[in-house]
Every structure is written in structure tokens, then in C-alpha cells.
Amino acid sequence: MRKVAILIASALCFSTFVSPASAVTKATTVTTAFKKMALTASESLGSLELKYESDIDLLDQALLEASRLADANYDQDLLSATNTFAPQIASANIRLESAKELFGSNSKLTIFQGLFTYQNADRIYSLLICPDSTLPNGPDWMEIAKRYCTNVNNKPRPGDISTKTNSKNTVGGEDWQAKDVASIQYINADNQYLQFAITNGWLVPLNPLVFDSSRIAIKTETANISSLIQQNGKARTAALEKRDKAVSLATKARQDSIELIDNAFNKAKANLENQELAANLALTAAKRAAKDPTIFDTAFVIAYKFDYNQRKLDEIADAAWTGDWTYRTIDSIIKVNKLAILGDGVSKKYTLKAAKAFNEKVGNAFTNEVDFRSALKFVVATYKQTTKVSLKF
């Protein structure tokens, strides 16, 4: 029985004892593994940022191309509008000028007696153009013969003592007489009083057919030109709205894509940064655990927690207090500062015992965080793959 007990005790000692040589080998192996992990994470971060920049460049190029195409289509639409309406407007203007010229040659009307009994006759007189003097080289006063007409600069005849000023454009001269022939400007041809007088035969165009046809042609072509100009304007406005809409849609598509890319990038970046941080913490933990080679695995866990806790406390202590850090075990900035100072002291003269005591003071305020647990998965997986040991945190 005594021999069996000795054999069992020897077996237990052998199973728990780790030789210094094997401990050193484990520390070296673990360090190498986490150096590789840190390097991989760093390189992946670099590749991720390059891909992000490349994706943004592609989106910028796509927006630039969409804007260029929208501008090209806009120019083409403007040219199409010009090709459509400019010839029509030019042709209508030619017809309008021709109608005006024709009306000018046929704008004379004969005045009949009935006009003088019309109660609104004075409104018609002011539309009439006084006849020119038939005397060559006559004096200035012969340029206008009537008292009321649309001509300006009316001058009284010598000896005419009349001061009647029923029209702002007239002073002096004689009244219109029956059978007088007057002419009108095309802009007054559709005046309601003048047309009423024509309808009643008080004013009779010398060439009624051409008078009416040219007058109507002027009105028609004027309206036609106005309509064509409006259509041209609408076509050009529609072209601009089409261009702006295309650019707006392309801009929104770019913004939506950037939002998706940003979300994916930030998520991947945070994941890789956590891996890189975890690898660096693991490297420091391996170095600290090497001081306790016989319990390297346990020492590694304690050191890893210590460095993570110290880092988080330093972040809070160095940042402006906002009240966002509300952990159950970290309930005031004063306590945070004290723990941070304590952690600095432990870090300078690191011992397993001091680190363990520090971790107990901090508690699980930080090690229960999602970021910690997420990064820890990589640490545990890498450690197990390297040493065949499953760490217990």
C-alpha cells in the first residue's frame, strides 16, 4: 500500500510540475503566436483601409460620371429645344414683321360724320395719326394739322389763340373733319372704341380686307411667338430639372452606399483593432507570466486582465468626466483616479500577487464588457491552438 501511495504522489507531482525549460518554451511559443496575431491584425487593418479608400474612390468616380452624363444630356436637351423652337420663333417673327409692314401700308381710315356724335370719340381721336404736310419744306407748324392725335410735339398755328388741351399730346391745330383720312399704329388697331367705330361705319379702312387680315396676322403671330417662347422656356426648365434630378439621385445613391460601406468598415475595423489590442495585451501578459513559469497559464490570465483593467482606467482618468462611465464597481472619478494610480504602481513593479489584488479591487467592471469578451475569443483560441490549453477567465 505504501508503494502505491508513493507512486500516486509521484504521478501527481509529475502532472502538476512544469519544468523551467518547458515554461520558457511555452512563453516563447505564446509570444511568437501573439506576435503573429498582432502582425496579421495590423496588416488586415492596412488592407481594410486601402479597400475602404478604393471603394470610396469608386463611388466618387461613379458620381462624377453620373454628373458628367447628366450635364451632357442637359446640353443635348437644350440643343434639341433650340433646334425645335428657334426656327419656329424666327419664322413667326418674320411673319409678324411682314404683317406689321403690310398693316402700315394699309392703316388709313376715312372719318365719317357719325364719329363726331359718338360719346367716346375723344378716345379715338387720341389714337389717330395726323396726316403729314403736303407742302415741301413747309414750316414746323405744318407737320401736324390736327388738334387731337397720337403724334407728339404738336405746335399751334401762328395766330391760333386756342388753348384747348383735351389731350396731353396736343395743343392747338384744327379739329378732325368728316372725310379726313387718318392712319393708326398697329398697337392700337384692336382698341375696343376704334373697333366699335369701324363696326358702325364711322371709321372705314381704305382697304378693309388687308386692314383686318394684317391686323389679325399681327395678333396671331404675336400670340404664337409668345407661346413658342413659353414652350421653349418650359423645355429648357424641364431639361434643367431632369439634370438636377439625375445628379440628386446619383448623389443619394453615393451617400446610401457610403453609409453601408462606413458601417461595414467601422465594424470590421473595430473587430481588427480589438484583435490587435488583444494580441498586444497578450504579448505583455506572456512577458509578465514568464516570471511565474510554473503556473504560466494562470499567471497569463491574471496579467492579461490586469493590463486590460489598467488600460481602461487610464482611458477614464485621462478623459474629461462626462458621467458616461457608470460601472457598478467604479462609482466615482475619485475612485477611478486612485485605482489608476495604483495600477501604474503595480505595472512598474509587477508581481502576480499585486496584479491579482488589483484585479479584485477593480472587479468585473471592464471584463464583462462586450469588447473584452469579443477580443478574448481570439486570445483563447490562439492560446489553445498554440499550447493545447483552454484558458479560464
> At residue 101, what is the residue type?
E
DSSP string, 228-243: HHHHHHHHHHHHHHHH
Same structural domain, 165 and 271 = no
Q: Name the pTM for this structure.
A: 0.66
**For residue range 84-113, what is the model confidence (pLDDT) as tens digits?**
999 999 999 999 999 999 999 999 999 999
Q: Does the pLDDT at position 52 exceed 90? A: yes
- For residue 149, name the pLDDT band (cuts at 50, 70, 90): confident
Number of domains in the chain: 2
The region of weakest confidence among 149-163, 206-220, 377-391 is 149-163
* Contact indicator for 108, 205 with CB cutoff of 8 Å: yes
pLDDT for 320: 60
DSSP string, 361-391: HHTTTTTTSHHHHHHHHHHHHHHHHHHS---
Q: 225 lies in a domain? A: no
Same structural domain, 284 and 375 = yes
Alpha-carbon span 301 to 356, nearest angstrom: 10
Q: Does the pLDDT at position 66 exceed 50? A: yes
pLDDT for 22: 58
Q: Does the pLDDT at position 171 exceed 80? A: no
Same structural domain, 26 and 123 = no
Q: Does the pLDDT at position 344 exceed 70? A: yes
Same structural domain, 270 and 383 = yes
Q: 251 lies in a domain? A: no
Q: 43 lies in a domain? A: yes
Mean model confidence pLDDT for the chain = 84
Alpha-carbon span 56 to 228, nearest angstrom: 46
Residue 344 C-alpha cell reads as: 501604474
How many helices (H) does the chain have, and how many strands (E)?
9, 4
Q: 96 lies in a domain? A: no
DSSP 146: B
